Amino acid sequence: MSSVLVVMETVSNGSALHRMSLEALAAGRKLAAELGCACEAVVLGNNTSSLAATVAGKGVTAWSVEHAQLENYTADAWCAALQQLIEEAKPQFVLFAHTYQARDYAAKLATRFGEVLIGDVTHIRVDAGTPVFTRQWMQGKLNAEYRHPAGTCFVSVQAGSFPAGDDASAAAGDVKSFTPMLDSAAIRTIPGKPFREAVQTVDLSSAPLIVSVGRGIGEQENLKLVEELAAALGAELAASRPICDAGWLPMERQVGSSGQTVAPRLYLAVGISGAIQHLVGMKAADTVIAINKDPDAPIFDVADVAVVGDLFEIVPALTKAILAQKAS
């Protein structure tokens, strides 16, 4: 019988589950429910029984895959261990959260089964018993649908696309142990310091008003335009990733899949294209106003108010109008 296997990722030296894995688990459970098959999950590491029990508590059978060579993540060890587990458990679908780690090894694992990875999936529907996976092309301007004909299907799911949530009525599942055979000579990488995601010293998640700036601002010195707008509105200033990567604003002001997730009353996006990695961080905003000179920018798909035009004309005029309104 077919089943869905969700690969859970851990953080903080294997002591906690990655938040995006809980979303992948939600996606896996939903897919399994729609296909009428079982959902299982796997936690890899050197001491995984307690996290596996936590996962089983969410109503799925959880595999605890332990080995000294899994103490730290390496693509070689993860691929070898998961290949052996998949051969044992024989799932039809293997789901990952689309994290940096999964991007590193999931496609390589898929090729061991002669398959490809359907990466960065934002939507899954079941059409006459066949799952249809949606992923975006061309910075969100096109949606492509994928069906997998036969064999093991490997899929990674985008952050924010499948809300994590527990089913309170689900009975806890079993924990099964699996010890892979891993040869240290076959593990070619020496793990370095893990990538550090944005440090959260500014809490944008509770800000009611956010003005967010993207690469359309052009130069660092132009940021004063949006700073003045944010000040006039009494809003927090946020940014897309390129602005923070360039060091123009601190990392904690980044919104998106590798930054903060926000849900303000108003999100005013200035010169932001609306890549999926940005949208997942702000699409819960009550009202989105977007200013962009490209009428086809994907940000307009989630905008309540679309302002097509040059930000260098619109933003100063808007700031002036807000200040005039306040003064009157």
Ligand X SMILES: Cc1cc2nc3c(=O)[nH]c(=O)nc-3n(C[C@H](O)[C@H](O)[C@H](O)COP(=O)(O)OP(=O)(O)OC[C@H]3O[C@@H](n4cnc5c(N)ncnc54)[C@H](O)[C@@H]3O)c2cc1C
**Site of interaction with ligand X (CB under 6 A):** 214-216, 240-242, 254-259, 271-273, 275, 277-278, 281, 291-294, 297, 310-312
Distance between start and end Cα atoms, the chain: 70
* Residue number with CB closer to ligand X (131 or 274): 274
| Closest CB to ligand X among residues 147, 320 | 320
Residue type, 235: A
Distance of closest approach, residue 194 Cβ to ligand X, in angstroms: 15
Map residue 170 onto helix, strand or coil: coil
**Closer by beta carbon to ligand X, 126 or else 308:** 308
We find the least distance from the C-beta atom of residue 35 to ligand X, in angstroms, to be 29
Q: Which of 252, 97, 240, 101 is nearest to 161 (CA)?
A: 97
Q: CB nearer to ligand X: give 297 or 318.
A: 297
d(CA 68, CA 57): 25
Contact partners, residue 240, CB within 8 Å, separation at least 6: 212, 213, 214, 215, 254, 255, 256, 272, 273, 275, 278
Q: Considering the complex, state which of residue 51 and residue 262 has its C-beta at the smaller distance from ligand X.
A: 262
Contact 7, 103 (CB under 8 A): no
Q: How far is the CB of 277 from ligand X (least distance, A)?
A: 4
Residue nearest to ligand X (CB): 256
CB of 40 to ligand X, least distance (A): 27
Which of 28, 214 has the CB closer to ligand X?
Answer: 214
Q: How far is the CB of 7 from ligand X (least distance, A)?
A: 17
How many CB atoms are closer than 10 A to CB 321? 11
Q: Which strands form 130-137's sheet, in the order they lie side by side?
A: 142-147, 130-137, 117-127, 153-157, 93-97, 3-8, 38-45, 61-66, 175-178
Q: Which residue has the tokens 């390129």?
A: 242
Shortest distance in whole angstroms from residue 280 CB to ligand X: 8
